[in-house]
Amino acid sequence: MRAAKIAGVLMSLTLSATALAETPSYGQQLEGFDYPHPLLKFPFESQGQSLEMGYMDVKPTGKANGRTAVLMHGK
């Protein structure tokens, strides 16, 4: 019984370490992330700091309908 518990713990630790090793690490601005479209940068100043915002400008694949969708994410 004790050997089975030890084997279970060791297997659990091995699987956890494998999962952590496969987790990609990205930089502070998600450097290394594979974006589906080209990433553009918009530099601006806010509260006395020079900042930069990343964005993707995705053109319509068919005929444009004159509408725009803006999705924003931030801290």
- Output the tens digit of pLDDT for each of the chain's 75 residues: 788 888 777 777 676 656 566 777 888 888 888 999 999 999 999 999 999 999 999 999 999 999 998 888 876
**Segments making up each domain of the chain, as ranges:** 2-55
Q: Which residue has the tokens 């999962």?
A: 19
